[in-house]
Amino acid sequence: MRIVSGAWLLSLALLFACAYPERPPGGPEDVQPPWLVAATPESASAGHGAIDELRFGFSEKMRRDEAYKWLTTYPRRVIESTSWSGARVAEVRLEEPLPADTTVVIELAPGMRDAHEVVQPRGRTFVFATGDSIADGVIRGALVLDDEPLGRGVAEIIAAGPDTVRLEQRPVLRRAVADSGGRWALRWLPADGESWLLRTYDDRNDDRRPGENEAQRLWPDTLHLTPGASTLDLGVRVLYGPQTPGTLVGELATRPDTAGTVFGFTRTIAESDTGFVPGPVQGRQPTYQAVPDTGRFTLTGAGPGLVRAVFFVDQDGDSTWSAVGAETDTLWALEPWGLVDSVTVEPGLEATIPSPAWSDTLTPWPAPARLPADTTAAEADTLAADVPDTSLAPEQE
């Protein structure tokens, strides 16, 4: 269905007459960003029926990019073609019409450039309805990162549903950009019980996608609006940087009968990891944290990413995982140990883990070298480099 009329073109021409004129050759440099001056359907209008064509008029000549680079519709539609008239008017045809009786949100992405490569920095969002009215539901809140309001952060809703549909395969149903105070609002939502999940992220590069190096968070609580409660205020939501460690929490269901305090520590599992093998390694020693025999424990500094948690009974009271035995023994054993492997920890968040699985047998370990009683301090220092350290840590990060 075509939606352009001669009246629209006349109004567009009048708007252009009020816009900034092009700079003459050799004149001052063009630093004025372009902006949207007209659109069909118009913002906040209703009653358009199912349509498959959109038109946009800009304040000056534009770089004639295909619309899929700068235009998104909600509900989503694939863009079939883009035609430019005089570089100021873009006619966009959709592969299939926008549905009838639906609130439609149009999003023009930031980064559009005019013919002089001047960037439009903020983009534009507006709404119209193919039916008789525009939905008035609102979900709003605020974003915080590193104890500061997250300006330019993004909040999106995606469809809730069965876990068989991966999150990345679910389309974004609505998107909002936070202001300098971190405040955002998803507007024009239906209050019909439809359920959504909220995803938020720090959109530093303005590409409207959560990148690997950008703080991001998916909120597991299901959101929805109902008639009579069409505004939902979610308050402040905190994001954490992608390298912020998380915390492991759990309880000991069992522990070895051996006397001593249980300690635990965590290590990130590298891509090259081939499994946990107890034994001394070079590198940074872990932070050992006491774990109570009953009640909840926490292990801080975990990850983020895929981690393992190692537990041991501190038989000799030195607060480190080590080998123990009699001085006359040539073979010692590691202090009893347990493991919880391959736990995913989101940046800054808690992950609940099960009680560790304790090794059924003691792990043999060579006894440390013994120096003669008459060894001098200088000789001890010289030999110390050749004595294996029985303090243990998992493989290097």
Tell me: the pLDDT tens digits for 267-323?
999 989 889 988 655 567 889 999 999 999 999 999 999 999 999 999 999 999 989
More confident residue, 236 or 384: 236
Which residue from 151, 153, 145, 104 is spatially nearest to 128, judged by alpha carbons? 104
Percentage of residues of the chain with pLDDT beyond 70:
84
What are the structural domains of the chain? 1-132 (2.60.40.1220), 135-241 (2.60.40.10), 246-384 (2.60.40)
Q: Is the per-residue pLDDT at 46 higher than 50?
A: yes
Q: Is the per-residue pLDDT at 160 higher than 80?
A: yes
More confident residue, 302 or 15: 302
Q: What is the pLDDT of residue 359?
A: 92
Which residue from 155, 154, 236, 157 is spatially nearest to 195, judged by alpha carbons? 157
Q: Is the per-residue pLDDT at 381 higher than 60?
A: no
Mean pLDDT of the chain: 87
Residue 20 sits at φ, ψ, to 5 deg, of -65, 130
The type of residue at 271 is E
Torsion of CA 62, 68, 70, 74, to 10 degrees: 140
**Could you tell me the pLDDT band of residue 9, with boundaries at 50, 70 and 90?**
very low
CB 171 within 8 A of CB 78: no
Other Cβ atoms less than 10 A from the Cβ of 127: the count is 18
Dist. CA 17–CA 12, nearest whole Å:
9
Q: Is the per-residue pLDDT at 255 higher than 90?
A: yes
Torsion of CA 265, 271, 275, 276, to 10 degrees: -20
pLDDT, tens digit (0-9, with 9 covering 90-100), for 74-95 = 999 999 999 999 899 999 999 9
Q: How far is CA 315 from CA 54, 62, 321, 324, in A?
A: 74, 74, 9, 8
Q: What is the pLDDT of residue 90?
A: 98
pTM: 0.77
